[in-house]
Every structure is written in structure tokens, then in C-alpha cells.
Structure 1
Amino acid sequence: MADRRKIPNLSLRALREEELQTSRHEFAQRVVKTGQEMGEAVACSKRLVAAWEDGEVELPRPVYRRILTRMTGRTMAELGFRAGTAAASPISEVNGTDSRKAPVDRRAFLTDGAGVAVTLLPALPPAGDLPPGRIGTRNVRAVHKAVRTIYAHDHDHGSASLRQKASEALHRAYNWLQDGQLTDRTERQLRSATGHLSIAVGWLAYDSGRPADARSLYGEALAASRIADDRALEGHAFGCLALLAKASGRPREAIAAAQGAQSAVRTFGSPRMLSLMAMREAGGWALLGDASATDTAIVRAHHLYAKGPADADPDWLEFFSPGELAGLEALARADLAQHERAAAGAEQAVLLHGTQFQRNRALYTADVAIQHAVRERPEPEAAAEAAGRLLTYLPDVRSDRLLQQLQNVQSALQRHAAVPAVADWLEEYRTTTGTS
């Protein structure tokens, strides 16, 4: 697929500069504030505003469309976005109807979803007007665009339909590094971009239940960060290794990796990135059973988060909203067997996410159900209600982790099968997932 020509959004830029008389950073802050007033948690940055104005994004994500319309009183077309084009979003819907309540083919849920209608990545085109074999900044931008597209689709639909195409893109980026003609500056930029792409592909592997693949990809990203002297990439890679270590039951490794991430980005200028890594450290301490160290890390994470967004915040950090902060704390509380606090925190996470990050909302909804079922004084009706909400995310969200969480919910509720609401849910679960 040929790379489209970017058309700058002069209408949006004129509105910001001439009518509102704000910088990109100030405009992003207005977006965040308007979102908060609407109950929409977003982490808009000046980089995102630049992407809108430069034509890199033809049409914002739905949550931003709602916020921009409310904030400016203008339609997307009036704001200069190409709302009528088929390529307006890098992601096509899985299908044209609301199929979330339809029965799920369990085998299809587990597959890569090769038949899903998703425009995931551009073909990562050659550098166009550059000599054959010469790699330039267009190639670097294409890799960054691939990373953004992966995360955007993954947040709402999970990893199943992405892995093959994302792996092919990573292979092509590595080919550019190995075989292309690059200046020293472009090589460093491309190596850094490829490291971020390696993390994105590693995340898909993790979400798909392939921890060994994820660990290898995160290791490649860590090596790329050292070669490119990219501290933000190094911190991101260490943070992912911390998450993977915790998921694999290695708490001390998770703590060490999270502390390594904080050391890498301590002077980077992003308090919220430090906050995320402090919360990853808290998860390691919780799995180790150290409540005091967990609380210390959680308090530090909240303190850092309260400092607000910064220009240095990387684009991938957009997912780390107030809802995600609450959700990560809830997971730590669950590991400490503080089930009542964990259930309340997971419910708060779902509410704070609003309409964003559908896969994460589904996972935290599962946590709500589990914690209500296993607490010292179980509330099976509340567990069944949350479990019922969980089923509505299928099959739109396709994630091995979500499938595992569904099984965990089923196991937790099975002990309360005599309760009518639970019995009804168990029957719906069997019908929906095709299990016996």
C-alpha cells in the first residue's frame, strides 16, 4: 500500500494560533481539561496536537472527536479533519455491526485472526525520492507510525489480529538497519524507532500468552536503547521486563527491572513515566508479599502522577490514565489479599477509563468479578453482575490474557454456583464461549 501524502490541517492550526492564541502544549492542556469535565480521561500531549495539525492523523480517535467538538463547538469537518475519507482512521472496525453479544467461536478467539478486516500498517515504503537503498527520515516516521497504529488497535481490540503483520513490519525495519544506506544520525534514529517497534511487538506477544517471545523482543529493545543512547527507550524496555517478570511469578526480578527503569528515566523529565515504573515496582513488592514496600511505592507513584503531564511524556504513555493508575494499584492490593480494596479499585479503574482502552476495561472488569467472589465475605451477586459485563466485550476484544481471565472468573464463581445469579452467568458463559 502506498504511503499517503500528508495534508497539513491549516484550519485547526489557525483556530489554535489565531482564535485561541495558545501554544500546542496549552491546547493539549485544554483538551485534557475538557475531557475531565466530560468524564473522559485522556493524556493529550503537544505531540498529538502536532500530529493533528501536520496531517499525520486524518481523523482523531472517537474520544478526541467528542472532546474537540465540545471544546470548540465545531464539527470535525469544520476543524479541518478529513472525516469523509476511508483512510481517516488507521484502523478499520472488526465488522460493521455490534457483535459483542454474539456467540464466540473459542478457537477463533485464540487464533491470530488473519481474516479480520484491519488496516494495521502501511507497507513501510521505501524512501521515495532518495536513491535506491538509501534510508531517510520518511522511513523513521513510518516505523513510528506503525508503533502508534499497533497501540491504538491493541487498546481497543487486543492483540490477536496484529501479531503477524507487526512481526513483518519489525523484520522490514531490521532489514533497513542491516542493508540500507544510512547516515549516522538516521541510523541512530531508526535504531531507536525499531527498538520502540520491538517493544510494541513484544507487548502483542505478552498479551497473546507468549512470554518467551516477549522477553526476547524486550531484550532486543534494551540493546537498541544502549546503542542509540536512548534513555526513554531503555526505561520503557526495563518497565516491560518488570511487567513480564511479575506475570511470570518472579517478583524480585520485577522489582529490580522496575528500579532499573526508574534509574534510566529519572532525569528524563517525565514524572508520569516515573510514576508508571514506581507502580510496576509496587506490583513486584506485592507479589513478594511485602505490604510496607508496596505502600511506599504506591504512594510514590501517586505523588509523581499528581505532578501532571510533561512535554517529555512519550506517546506510548497515553494509556497511563487515572483509570490505569487505579487499576494497577488494585492489582497490587489483590496480590496482597486485600480483596475489598482490590475490588473497589478495579471498579474505579473501569469507571475512570470511560469509553477508552476497551481491552483494559475488560480485564479490570474481570478483576472486579474475581475479587467479589474470593473476598472474606463473598458477594456472589456483585461478582455475577461484573462477570456479565465482562461477556459483552466479546468477541470485539481478542486477547489471550482476556480469555485466561474469563477462565479465572469462571473458576472463582464456580464455588458460588448455588446462587441463582451465578448459575445464570455460568450458563451464559458456556453458551458464549462454547465451553462445557
Structure 2
Amino acid sequence: MNLANSIAPETKAAEPPTSLDVVNAFDEFMSAFESFKDSNDERLGQIERRIGGTDVVTEEKVARISLALDRQKETLDRLVLKNRRPALGGAGRSAVDVSEHKAAFEAYVRHGDMAGLKRLEAKAMSASADADGGYLVPVETASEIDSRLAAISPIRSIAQVRQVSTNLYRKPFATSGTVVGWVGETESRPQTDTPTLVDLEFPVMELYAMPAATQTLLDDSAVDLDQWLASEVDVAFAEQEGAAFVSGDGNKKPKGFLSYPTVDESAWAWGSLGTISTGAAGEFAASNASDVLVDAIYALKAGYRQNANWVMNRKVQAEIRKLKDADGNYLWSPPSTADARATLMNFPIVEAEDMPDLAAGSSSVAFGDFSRGYLIVDRLGVRVLRDPYSQKPYVLFYTTKRVGGGVLDFDAIKLIRFGTV
């Protein structure tokens, strides 16, 4: 890889999009959706009339408009994100402390001057003031990385997130409530069984990135180093942790919800995720295709449905976008506003590209309350170690954060399996 091409940051912030840009993008998206509905109606009409199957030209047109919809939604999401990006700030710390830390960190990044950071960490009685372990980035940079991760990483945006100061988070969970019973006024009261508790453990794993810069770049006072560092690592962090939250095996990374044991919903038990089958290998059933979606919704208890989301990748969403109910209404609905999500049967859709494509036996659609079903554990702080020696003339910035994750409540997430069993 050409390092020179990978490290060039913008020397000034790009102009934020205006509200008019967002409105125009949303209008174009809705116009494309109307075109999609018209073309898909034509396709379905050809199938119903049985005139030798669907016309190839119509199929290609539907697929082309569906792809355009995906691209326009990505553009719309990007504009909304830029328009709503929060201002950086140092909540909970005095302006003097924030400014002093920022100045000391900038001196370390630009010139390798560790004196200011050592003084600050000694004053704060930090246990990790040794330069070999790196230095905590200023709160502005850490907040910027965290906020972008929440926006970019789809599972992080809907899961429960806890911050810890150790390498392991333990969570007791009651899998059964207190047993109660009815008795007469003068009858004896036998002792009831105690609640069943399980001790769930969520270790944090190290996630790293190593952006590079030339000393000439670092000497350029026009470059905002906080912004540059955040922009270099946020996408890399989000892509890696996003994949782990879906399918990570738990070995040196978080354990994804698709890596846990599964069982048919009719035989569900704690420790496994319940599945509902479509009845067809690698696809929806030929008739009443939407029934499996209804079954998935009502496999979830009412308390979980209130905050439930669909999770799937864009290819699966493209297939679901073509489905209609018995009255001819599309099950998939576009977002009602520019910053909202598309919905399926009135539940929001979260697009996660790490979810599997349709295949025989694949669990390509998840439905559930991820804020109760999946836990992400972040260890406080993002650290940076400056390395001007390993790859001269570039200065490397070994940037690390610690994150873990796993299923918290096995009853809160259901999977649709594209198979006969």
C-alpha cells in the first residue's frame, strides 16, 4: 500500500452540508422509491398473468432501481451524519484542564515532547504514565472517535454500551423470577425456589490502528491533529468491531450474536438464540413469503418488541423490498424523514453489511431488542503511542482501544433461518 496516499489529511474542515442539501437528497430518494414501486408492480403483474415468466428487461430495471435506492440512501445518511455531527467538548472537566491536555497532546504528536503529558498524568495520579504504553488522547478526540463509531458501526448504534475501567465486565442475570404461589388464609407457607442467576462475563479485547504521517505534515500548524487522528482510525475501528459484533468468534475479539448456538423457536432454551425457518432453502417461501416475518415479530415477547429492530444487509433488504401484503401494500417503507430509518412492518431496519447473504441455512435476518439483547463493553480511554523510528520517514501512531461484546439476554433476539428446518 502506498503510505503517501493513505495519510494525506484535509488541512481544513470540509464545508458542512446545508439543510437544503439534505432535503434535496431525501426528495431524490423518495422519487427513486416511487419508480421502484412502479417497476416492481409491473414485474409482479407479469408473474400473475403468467406470460412466460417475468420479462428480463423488467427484472433488470427493478434491480437497477433497487441498487440506485441503496446508493441514494447511503448518500442521504452521509449528509445527515455530517449535518448533525456534534461539537467537540470536554464535559466534566474545566476549560483549563481540557486546553492544557490538548496542548500537551499536540506537542507529543507533533514533536514527540512527552514532558507535558507526563506532568499531567502525574498530577492525575495515572497508573499508566509510562510512554511505552502510550498516552490517553484528549477528551475531545476520544469523544469524536466514540461518536463516529456509534454512527458508523450499525450494531453499536442499537446495542447497550457500558464503559468500564478494567479488562473484564461481569453481569449477573436472572434467567427466572422468584417463584410464588397461592395459599389459603390458615395454610402453611412452604418455602419457594430462589431465582436462577447466571454470571455473564464480557472480557475486553484490544483493537488497534496505526496511521502514518510525515514530519512535514506534523509541522504544518494548519492541520487539526485531533480531527486527523479521529478520521484516520474511526472507520477502521468501526469496520472491525462491526464485523465482530455480528460474527466474531470471541477469540481476541468480541463474540458476535451469530456465533452463539441456535435452536428452533419451538424448543428455545436459555443459552441459545431462537430461529424461525422460511421453509425454503436460501430464499423466502414461494407462497405467503411474508408469513415468516410475522412469525419472527411475534416470537418476541411484547416487552422486547417495543424497542425492536430488524438487522440485515442491503442484498437481503433488496429482496424484502419487493414483498407485499395481501392488500397489495409494500411491507418495506422508506424513512419518513431524512434522518429516520426505513421500516419493515413498522419496525426500523438497521443495515449491517456483515450479516450473511441469502444461502441455504443462513441466518440472514435478525429481529430483536438489541439494547437488551447485546452488550458492548468499552474500556475507558483511547491511547496513542508515537513511533518515529520503525518506518522512516513516516511517524506511526499506534492507536488502541479496548472493546468487548456478547449476548446479554438470549430471549431478546430472534433469527430468521433461510432453510427448511
User: Per residue, is there more helix in 1 or in 2?
Assistant: 1
Structure with more contact order per residue of length (Cα contacts < 8 Å, sep ≥ 6): 2
TM-score, normalised with respect to structure 1: 0.28
Larger radius of gyration: 2
